[in-house]
């Protein structure tokens, strides 16, 4: 924690080919959950020049070909794609969704008097730190903010010069383990034919300044905007997209480990998603409760088994109590079975499309979405360590 170093994270916009696929997969998931909150969905999407293929497994609800077609076109329209090589009206859509494997279903289905099992084996990580108000690592948080505000104003008609596809990268300067400023910012954004490099630079720089903390001096930083000098052809017309290919963008920007499983298109029985949300929720509450400045939670599951086979807590030397004590308290405060997580966080709802761009974490919790960002365990956690309260 005494080191001085640089750390970098990247984000991609909702118009990036991989993010188009994530949003389509989650929009389809939402549609199935709206029909049946217990529906099982694993939906993958591929995007290329004027073409979308959807594949995956479904159980417990049905959507017609026309309904799926309308969902896909609606997502592409909302993002803003109306270019020759990728247009929401003319894109070809191939639907290869089918029934869930009986072998998988028998491991997940709840038996009489028992809970449903995890939809797969695997490891999931959650992380939180005190370096931003959102308890997120600074580089990924600000990389997201730059693109999210650019996209918001583009879709509002305020930036007609820009297209939907964009990427950002923020390198923060750390002193004594704390983010104290920015060293380098890279933004590449699609733009219209004939828009000059200087015009793009002038637009984007304003959004970079607005996204960063006021006391961070951008004048001393390197700012690279469209460093190739031209970015007209974008989206799936320029690069193939796939669901689940931006898992580091989706989580902590490389500041914490990732178990390897993607989120989008998966219902809550898939612990790749639900347990990663639970791990973030637990880690965030530990930091919000003042038990540590940094907290990382690892959960591990076996397919068909409800309870996690392991919970590991790491506070990187910043904890005020032992990690074993924190882990014990967390297990007591939340049932970490798929059913327990879904119930505690309200995950059997059509809430997922909004998660599929600009990060699943560090967002503002609402009545229906991003429940894993709540800090409603703080009081209960602190109550388990009365000596901390007495010391204060």
Annotated binding site for K(+): 44
Pairing of strands 51-59, 92-99: parallel
Q: Cβ atoms within 10 A of the Cβ of 9, count?
A: 24
Pairing of strands 222-225, 178-191: parallel
Q: Which residues are annotated as a binding site?
A: 16, 18, 44, 57, 100, 165-167, 230-231, 239, 245-246, 262, 266, 270
State the DSSP code for 9. Answer: E
Residues near 387 by Cβ (< 8 Å), separated by ≥ 6? none
State the DSSP code for 118. Answer: B
Q: Which residues are annotated as a binding site for ATP?
A: 16, 165-167, 230-231, 239, 245-246, 262, 266
Is there a contact between 146 and 208 (Cβ–Cβ < 8 Å)?
A: yes
Question: CA separation (Å) from 44 to 24, 36, 68, 252?
Answer: 9, 19, 13, 22
| Helix/strand/coil for 133 | coil
Is there a contact between 286 and 381 (Cβ–Cβ < 8 Å)?
A: yes
Question: CA separation (Å) from 179 to 131, 139, 144, 239, 382?
Answer: 7, 9, 16, 34, 27
Alpha helices in 36-91 (DSSP H): 65-79
Q: What b-and-e string marks burial along 228-239, b requiring 16 or more CB atoms within 10 Å of the CB? A: eeebebbbbbbe
End-to-end CA distance of the chain: 24
Closest to 174 (Cα-Cα) out of 255, 279, 99: 255
Rounded CA gap, 26 and 61, in Å?
A: 15
Is there a contact between 262 and 251 (Cβ–Cβ < 8 Å)?
A: no
Is there a contact between 255 and 139 (Cβ–Cβ < 8 Å)?
A: yes
Q: Which residues are annotated as a binding site for L-methionine?
A: 57, 100, 239, 270
Q: What b-and-e string marks burial along 187-212, b requiring 16 or more CB atoms within 10 Å of the CB? A: bbbbbeeebeeeebeebbeebbeebb
């Amino acid at each position: 924690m005494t080191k001085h170093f640089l750390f970098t994270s990247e984000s991609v916009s909702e118009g990036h080919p991989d993010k188009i696929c994530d949003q389509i997969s989650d929009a389809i998931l939402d549609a199935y959950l709206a029909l049946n909150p217990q529906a099982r969905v694993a939906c993958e999407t591929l995007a290329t020049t004027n073409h979308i293929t959807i594949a995956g497994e479904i159980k417990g609800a049905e959507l017609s070909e026309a309904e799926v077609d309308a969902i896909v076109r609606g997502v592409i329209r909302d993002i803003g794609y109306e270019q020759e090589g990728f247009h929401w009206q003319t894109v070809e859509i191939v639907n290869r969704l089918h029934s869930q494997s009986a072998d998988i279903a028998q491991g997940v289905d709840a038996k009489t008097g028992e809970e449903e099992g995890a939809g797969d084996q695997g490891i999931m990580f959650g992380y939180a730190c005190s370096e931003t108000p959102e308890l997120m690592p600074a580089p990924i948080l600000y990389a997201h903010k730059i693109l999210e505000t650019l996209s918001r104003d583009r879709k509002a008609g305020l930036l007609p010069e820009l297209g939907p596809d964009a990427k950002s990268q923020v390198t923060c300067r750390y002193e004594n383990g704390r983010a104290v400023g920015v060293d380098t910012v890279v933004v590449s954004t699609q733009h219209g034919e004939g828009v000059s490099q200087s015009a793009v630079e002038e637009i984007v720089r304003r959004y970079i300044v607005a996204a960063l903390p006021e006391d961070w001096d951008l004048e001393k930083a390197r700012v690279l905007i469209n460093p190739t000098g031209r970015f007209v052809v974008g989206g799936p017309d320029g690069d193939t997209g796939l669901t689940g290919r931006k898992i580091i963008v989706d989580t902590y920007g490389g500041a914490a480990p990732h178990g390897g499983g993607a989120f989008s298109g998966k219902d809550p029985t898939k612990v790749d998603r639900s347990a990663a949300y639970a791990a973030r929720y637990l880690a965030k509450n530990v930091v919000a409760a003042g038990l540590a400045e940094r907290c990382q939670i690892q959960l591990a599951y076996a397919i068909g088994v409800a309870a996690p086979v392991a919970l590991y807590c790491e506070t990187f030397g910043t904890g005020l109590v032992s990690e074993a004590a924190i882990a014990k308290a967390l297990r007591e405060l939340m049932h970490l079975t798929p059913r327990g997580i879904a119930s505690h966080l309200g995950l059997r709802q059509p809430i997922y499309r909004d998660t599929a761009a600009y990060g699943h974490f560090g967002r503002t919790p609402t009545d229906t979405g991003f429940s894993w960002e709540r800090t409603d365990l703080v009081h209960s956690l602190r109550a388990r360590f009365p000596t901390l309260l007495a010391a204060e």
